[in-house]
Structure 1
Amino acid sequence: MKDKRPRNISPGDIMAMQLPITAKASILHRISGVLLFLLMPVLLWLLDFSLSSEQNFLQLKSVLDGSVGKLATLFAMAFLIYHFCAGIRHLLMDLGYGEEKESGKQGAVAMMVVTAILVALTGVWLWL
């Protein structure tokens, strides 16, 4: 007799599954939210550090003006942009748009394309 209990799924099992684009968008939305939550104390500490004195502000500015600082800023902005765009998509779904299978797929693809464009523009803005 086959056991019908739910079994634990490892991250490797999830990576092997062929999930639809809507599921991938939802999972990435959750991951971006967790990363933003974990990043918040670091960002608040950096804000506190930069506001404590002019010397600390200039020191932090010089770090963030470097390539590593710009890359870290781009990653943080990418998490924020993705989470924002996915949140707008979810709000539209709450209003009844994009709830069907095909329109949900199109909405997920459109959201990812808009996110990619905004992240690319952010990268150009950071390096110019």
Structure 2
Amino acid sequence: MTELATPSRPQRPEFRNINAFKDLPTYRLPPAGWVSILHRVSGALMFLLLPFIIWLFDTSVSSEYSFARFSALFSAGAAFVPGWFFKLVALALIWAYLHHIIAGIRHLWMDVAHAVSKEFGRSSAIVTLTLSVALTAVLGAKLFGLY
């Protein structure tokens, strides 16, 4: 009789504290989580390298002499820093800009189209990651003179 008087409730999931050293290395972040984290990283990278971006722009458009100096920086380097290092910094900026703009368009599309589902989030995150890495590889090949 007591079994009929108390309605059966569905079993709630058991939550436990996690051990950061044991559980975090095995945790698999979904693609949407990677896009979110990398969106913030790319924004911070662009912000921190803003003085370098302004210097690049100013040096490239000031005069023919400054453009020649700008070009020499990427081929020969400056002082003790080799030219390939400046190319890597420029490649990081290229990735940051591409990833940030593609992820931003993804977020805007989700806001406008109300496309908030787990499936769309996963597929659009994979497209964002793939597109940003592929475009960075193409522009990086051009930057390093492969074509």
- Measured against the shorter chain, the TM-score band is 0.7 to 0.9
Q: Is the 8 A contact 1:21 1:109 kept in 2?
A: yes
Cα RMSD for the two superposed structures = 2.5
Runs (5+) with no aligned partner, structure 2: 1-19, 76-82
* Amino acid of the structure 1 residue aligned with 2:30: P
Letter in 2 for 1:119: T
Query: 1:93 — aligned with what?
Result: 110
Partner of 1:18: 28
Residue of structure 1 in register with 2:50 after alignment: 40
In proportion to residue count, which structure has more helix? 1
8 Å Cα contact 1:93-1:99 kept in structure 2: yes
Please report how far the alpha carbon of residue 62 of structure 1 lies from its aligned counterpart in structure 2 after TM superposition.
1.0
Q: Please report how far the alpha carbon of residue 78 of structure 1 lies from its aligned counterpart in structure 2 after TM superposition.
A: 0.7
Of all paired residues, the percent bearing the same amino acid is 37
Letter in 2 for 1:122: L
Q: What TM-score does the superposition give when structure 1 sets the normalisation length?
A: 0.77
Match of 1:78 in 2: 95
One-letter identity of the residue aligned with 1:82 = H
Gaps of 5+ in 1: 1-9
> Is the deviation greater in 70-79 or in 24-33?
70-79
Q: Which residue of 2 aligns with 1:114?
A: 131
In structure 2, what is the Cα distance between the partners aligned to 1:52 and 1:103? 46
Preserved contact between residue 98 and residue 107 of structure 1 (Cα < 8 Å): no
- In the aligned structure 2, how far is the partner of 1:52 from the partner of 1:125? 24
Within 1, Cα distance between the matches of 2:52 and 2:141?
A: 24
Report the counterpart of residue 64 of structure 1 in structure 2: 74
Distance 2:113 2:63 in 1: 50
Q: Does 1:103 align with 2:120?
A: yes
| Higher Rg | 2
